[in-house]
Structure 1
């Protein structure tokens, strides 16, 4: 039986006091990895991440209902934000070490924002306050419902998504990624908010602002299948 590529998935952590604290992750992240041909693994937080990266073939950085400290992208916080420094520090260490190894990475929602920051980019701290005429990117509805269109604005090296193509996606965020020379923007929403990015050179490192683990659009399947294809390649090169 062929070896299934091992995908490390970062969990969230609840705010209960130890020993009641729990790691939590939506089941559909693991289901999407499994459906695309991978073997999902949960990565509990720890200071040293190299042992994790030795054991996996791809990294999936999940979303979460919290914000990244603006100091990490050279800004001052404009209001009080809910932050999770333990999670952010762990995920930063994973992303930076995975990038140095050329390990395939997918960052989703908050995970895309942190990927952008690790690559040297910055964020829009609050879309409604900073982008005039912006769409509602955090609607009062389930992420299982598509909310707005995205437009494929750039050519990806890995995703078979022709420039100009439109997709209907979900949306659960109030911050977004600013364009940067550190990565290529490959999709935007009608109001110009960056919806997908790709590292310009080196290995597979893609961020998407929506939640493709719900599988609402064709592009969602394309993302996970491309990710797992690169994880298989990475696994073979380790042998």
Structure 2
């Protein structure tokens, strides 16, 4: 059986030196590679109107939401702080609609970094726009210039949670963010946190909606244990 995984694309809205004003949708190749490695067939979903979300979800067996810009603060009921950088409300609204359509169709969702935050907002949760100024985070949650594939920070899981079963109680992850989940969305539970109390993974009670704040797609080739996250997701989609 072919398991088709819809990967929601990002939107290049700023001109670059080589592309001038040619705007386009794209997805970082590691998401595609991770889905393929786990036995799924990746289907990249271009950004569309929220009214089209259900049609996209009908085409696939599961939904993967990738990293990228911060989520637009007004979508979760607050005004933007000065620490907020690039946002894309068109992507935000479309991905929120995808989440709702996938849940209605009972198709599994995996959110990575921003994707986890989008899931939370779609389910009426809120975010910290900046974990340092708003919650007093003390760890380095953006490890650059250290390379993406190198785990640098410990997370601790909740016993018996989906992530605890896959990767154990405590392990190292990579980290590239300054926003994070604040108030959890409807039906979501925090299943892992960093040592300074930042939510690093979430899950629904039925295990069909999961998200991680770190980037397993950047680590699965050099730290094979992280394949387990994508294997779990593909199994749910079968």
Shorter-chain TM-score category? 0.7 to 0.9
Q: What is the aligned partner in structure 1 of residue 123 from structure 2?
A: 119
Aligned residues: 227
Unaligned runs of 5+ in 1: 233-239
| Contact 2:47/2:94, CA 8 A, preserved across alignment | yes
Aligned match for 1:146, one of 151, 165, 172: 151
Please tell me the root mean square deviation across aligned C-alpha atoms, in Å. Answer: 2.1
Aligned to 2:29: 27
SS in 2 for 1:222: helix
Partner of 1:137: 141
Cα distance change, pair 30–181 in 1 and its aligned pair in 2 (3 A): closer
How high is the TM-score relative to the length of structure 1?
A: 0.87
**Structure 2 length normalisation: TM-score?**
0.88
Matched, 1:53 2:57: yes
**Equivalent position of 2:192 in the other structure:** 187
Q: Does 1:204 align with 2:208?
A: yes
CA apart distance, 1:16: 4.0
Q: 2:78 aligns with which of 75, 78, 81?
A: 75
> Would the alpha carbon gap of residues 92 and 187 (structure 1) be closer, same or farther in structure 2, given more than 3 Å must change?
same
Q: Indicate the residue corresponding to 1:224 in structure 2.
A: 230
Deviation string, structure 1 residues 150-196 (Cα, Å, up to 9, x no partner): 11125325862476x11111111000012537311111111110000
**Residue 84 and residue 207 in structure 1: after superposition, are their counterparts in 2 closer, same or farther (change >3 A)?**
same
Measure, in 1, the Cα distance between the counterparts of 2:6 and 2:21: 24
